[in-house]
């Protein structure tokens, strides 16, 4: 309902005759009702609509067993498994401090069974004392879109534990060091870790290619950058590693095209992403050790270089598709799509 309301009110939409003509053509050509058209392709300045994957085609890329092997998926989609695996392969990630499986907390390689709030507060007191940390980032072991993330700091851990106690002991979380974001990115938005999403694809010939790249930004005081949580994304020029002109919210949040961050007013176009080349090399190295044919990699840029935050075996295709002006322009994407039929 929010999307329909946003579409009807959007002054940037094409005239209804053109919209109707394009929707009918897509329905006949793709053999499905093109609901995806109304997320972005209805706009006057959108690239040619034939360049974009349909919803069925997106799902093929996300779900097809030719692209996704269960052994790889289990490693990629479990943040604890992936963090432990990455350590053995020397893939750069934030340091793993600990984890919990419901009331069983493993911190600094010591397991504690927690029975009440006070015991858990004591665990975090020891964590901060032994690791000389000012804060840790707490994330659900499974799941995505930034849901359920908590920032636990030395100054507020007692209150944070009290507020989140039931959630913590009833679920499974991973604890990692807080990344010190590169100062150039902090100039745009310092409150969230603003990550790159790099989408890798292994072609039928075994070639690893980054087929799409975008950068996600949080807004306000949010600690996460996900579009589903109200943030926005900006396409990255794959060759130069610079931001494109416009950023986009998901349609249910806003139809606004962003040219400057709404909090800092920092102009996005042309921003040169620090360590972009190294970030690309890092995910390509990760694909070599976990050769799932399609992966979405979230990469943070720290003061010292890129760090993989997490991997997604079933990444959103919609946002990368928009960010690159249509993935069907890519010959390898076309070939893999034909392979999946």
Residue 57 lies in a domain: no
Rounded to an integer, what distance in angstroms lies between the CA atom of residue 66 and that of residue 69? 7
DSSP three-state, residue 222: coil
Range of the domain at 17: 2-52
Can you give the pLDDT at residue 252? 75
Rounded to an integer, what distance in angstroms lies between the CA atom of residue 341 and that of residue 339? 6
- The alpha carbon of residue 336 and the mean position of all alpha carbons in its chain are separated, in whole angstroms, by 23
91 — phi, psi (to 5°)? -85, 135
| Residue 161 and residue 227 share a domain | no
Asked whether the predicted pLDDT for residue 228 surpasses 60, the reply is no
Can you give the pLDDT at residue 264? 95
| Residue 267 and residue 173 share a domain | no
DSSP three-state, residue 37: helix
- Cα angle 27, 325, 310 (rounded to 5 degrees) comes to 105
Predicted TM-score of the model (pTM): 0.93
| Residue 79 and residue 201 share a domain | yes
Last residue of a domain, one of 177, 212, 229: 177
For residue 232, what are the β-bridge partners? Answer: 217
**And the tokens for 221?**
């005081």
On whether the CB atoms of residues 139 and 176 are closer than 8 A, the answer is yes
Cα–Cα distances in Å, from 256 out to 10, 36, 109, 140, 248?
A: 9, 18, 47, 31, 7
Can you give the pLDDT at residue 225? 59
| Residue 285 and residue 190 share a domain | yes
16 — phi, psi (to 5°)? -65, -30
Cα–Cα distances in Å, from 83 out to 282, 311, 314?
A: 15, 10, 18
What is the mean pLDDT of the segment spanning 164-173? 95
| Residue 245 and residue 188 share a domain | yes
**And the tokens for 104?**
């069983």
**Length of the chain as a residue count:** 341
Number of structural domains the chain divides into: 3
On whether the CB atoms of residues 113 and 103 are closer than 8 A, the answer is yes
On whether the CB atoms of residues 228 and 145 are closer than 8 A, the answer is yes
| Residue 198 and residue 73 share a domain | yes
| Residue 87 and residue 105 share a domain | no
Can you give the pLDDT at residue 146? 67
Residue 205 lies in a domain: yes
pLDDT > 70: percent of the chain: 97
What is the mean pLDDT of the segment spanning 154-163? 93
Residue 258 lies in a domain: yes
pLDDT tens sequence across 231-249: 899 999 999 999 999 999 8
On whether the CB atoms of residues 67 and 292 are closer than 8 A, the answer is yes
**And the tokens for 46?**
């959108």
What is the mean pLDDT of the segment spanning 164-189? 95
On whether the CB atoms of residues 228 and 146 are closer than 8 A, the answer is yes
- The alpha carbon of residue 153 and the mean position of all alpha carbons in its chain are separated, in whole angstroms, by 24
Count Cα atoms within 13 angstroms, Cβ side, for 183.
0
Last residue of a domain, one of 138, 158, 177: 177
| Residue 220 and residue 272 share a domain | yes
Rounded to an integer, what distance in angstroms lies between the CA atom of residue 59 and that of residue 314? 9
| Residue 162 and residue 79 share a domain | no
| Residue 195 and residue 162 share a domain | no
Provide the CATH number for the domain around residue 267: 3.30.470.20
Can you give the pLDDT at residue 261? 96
Last residue of a domain, one of 118, 148, 177: 177
What is the mean pLDDT of the segment spanning 65-70? 96
On whether the CB atoms of residues 208 and 292 are closer than 8 A, the answer is no
On whether the CB atoms of residues 192 and 230 are closer than 8 A, the answer is no
215 — phi, psi (to 5°)? -120, 135
| Residue 212 and residue 82 share a domain | yes
For the chain, the average pLDDT equals 93
Residue 202 lies in a domain: yes
| Residue 288 and residue 237 share a domain | yes
What residue has token string 């991973």?
174
**And the tokens for 188?**
């745009």
pLDDT band at 168 (very low <50, low <70, confident <90, very high): very high
Can you give the pLDDT at residue 1? 58
What is the mean pLDDT of the segment spanning 19-35? 94
Provide the CATH number for the domain around residue 152: 3.30.1490
């Amino acid at each position: 309902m929010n999307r329909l309301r946003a579409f009807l009110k959007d002054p940037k939409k094409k005239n209804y005759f053109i919209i109707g003509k394009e929707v009918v053509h897509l329905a006949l050509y793709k053999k499905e009702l093109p609901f995806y058209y109304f997320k972005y392709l209805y706009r006057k300045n959108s690239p040619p609509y034939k360049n974009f994957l349909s919803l069925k085609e997106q799902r093929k890329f996300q779900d097809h067993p030719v692209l996704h092997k269960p052994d790889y998926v289990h490693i990629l989609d479990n943040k604890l498994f992936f963090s432990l695996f990455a350590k053995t392969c020397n893939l750069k990630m934030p340091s793993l401090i600990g984890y919990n499986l419901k009331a069983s907390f493993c911190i600094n390689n010591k397991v504690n069974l927690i029975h009440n709030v006070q015991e858990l507060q004591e665990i975090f007191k020891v964590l901060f004392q032994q690791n000389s940390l000012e804060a840790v980032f707490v994330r659900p072991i499974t799941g995505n879109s930034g849901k359920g993330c908590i920032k636990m700091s030395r100054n507020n851990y007692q209150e944070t534990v009290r507020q989140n106690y039931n959630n913590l002991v009833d679920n499974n979380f991973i604890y990692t060091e807080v990344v010190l974001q590169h100062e150039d990115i902090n100039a745009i938005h310092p409150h969230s870790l603003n990550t790159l999403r790099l989408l890798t694809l292994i072609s039928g010939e075994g070639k690893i290619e980054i087929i799409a790249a975008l950068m996600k930004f949080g807004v306000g005081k949010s600690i996460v950058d996900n579009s589903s949580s109200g943030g926005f994304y900006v396409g990255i020029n794959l060759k130069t590693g610079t931001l494109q002109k416009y950023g986009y919210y998901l349609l249910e949040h806003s139809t606004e095209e962003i040219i400057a961050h709404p909090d800092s007013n920092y102009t996005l176009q042309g921003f040169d992403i620090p360590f972009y080349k190294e970030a690309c090399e890092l995910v390509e190295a990760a694909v070599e050790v976990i050769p799932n044919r399609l992966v979405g990699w979230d990469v943070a840029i720290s003061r010292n270089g890129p760090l993989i935050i997490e991997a997604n075996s079933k990444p959103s295709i919609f946002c990368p598709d928009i960010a690159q002006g249509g993935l069907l322009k890519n010959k390898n994407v076309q070939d893999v799509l034909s392979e999946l039929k």
